[in-house]
Amino acid sequence: YSQSEAQRLSVQRGWSIVRDGSAWRRAVASPRPLSVLELSVIALLASRGVVVVCVGGGGIPVTRTDDGRLYGVEAVIDKDHASALLARELGADWLLLLTDVDSVYLDWRGARPRSVAAAGPSDLDLEKFEPGSMRPKLEAAIEFVRRTGRRAAIGRLDDAPALLGGAAGTVITQAQAGLRLRDQP
């Protein structure tokens, strides 16, 4: 929204409004997902070789009443955390978080951004990554690795096969001690 329209909507509807680049947008709660309601159906389809598109956009946030009924709530479920939860619950070997950036970068907006090839789950300072961008991806990847002992990777969709071999993107793994930068051996 423009600033004037955002202010009007904030007053008229009681919305929380935040700046987003040069525009303004409505801010809603972004809780971490607790479960994937259709997990058994997703698991069944995946076990039969069906490619299942799920938790897109994080899924639809709902809550359950005391009598078991579900109703929608005004929130946004983070897609990266939803994907990590789904991968854990399905017992996935890898968590791939595919995006339009080729890898995680240290000093992303600085004078000398450096591509991270691999990191252990404690090797990156999450406070140095943007909350609405790379930070949730890293949080989700690190949580997946810590809770499962498996590997996660962040990189471009076009590089998905190369991510699995560590030839592209950033791999997060328990086996990595310290950061390995892409331009370093």
Q: What are 8-18's pLDDT values in tens digits? A: 999 999 999 99
Predicted local distance difference test score (pLDDT) of residue 29:
83
Burial track 57-95 (b if 16+ CB lie within 10 A, e otherwise): ebbebeeeeeeeeeeeeeeebbbbbbbbbbbbeeebeeb
- The mean pLDDT value for 85-91 works out to 96
Mean pLDDT of 79-101: 95
pLDDT at 164 over 60: yes
* CA neighbor of 73 nearest in space, from 89, 58, 56: 58
Confidence of residue 185 (pLDDT cuts 50, 70, 90): very low
Distance CA 31, CA 76 (A): 7
pLDDT for the residue 184: 56
Q: How far apart are the first and last CA of the chain?
A: 46
**For the chain, what percent of residues have pLDDT higher than 90?**
70
Instruction: Check whether 109 has a pLDDT greater than 50.
Output: yes
Is the pLDDT confidence value at 122 over 50? yes
| Rounded Cα distance, 27 and 72, in Å | 17
Distance between CA atoms of residues 169 and 61, nearest Å: 30
CA pair distance 165, 178, nearest whole angstrom: 19
Q: What is the mean pLDDT of the chain?
A: 92
In which residue are the tokens 């009443």 written? 65
| CA angle, 81 then 85 then 86, to 5° | 115
Rounded to a whole number of angstroms, the CA Rg of the chain reads 19
Residue with the bigger pLDDT between 185 and 69: it is 69
Overall average pLDDT of the 146-154 stretch: 97
User: How much of the chain, in percent, has pLDDT values that exceed 70?
Assistant: 98
Averaged over 128-141, what is the pLDDT? 91
CA pair distance 102, 13, nearest whole angstrom: 40
d(CA 25, CA 161) in angstroms, rounded, equals: 36
What's the pLDDT score for residue 55? 86
140 pLDDT more than 50: yes
- Choose between 26 and 154: higher pLDDT: 154
Does the structure show a pLDDT above 90 at 32? no
34 alpha-carbon distance from chain centroid = 15
Give dist(CA 155, CA 157) in Å, integer: 7
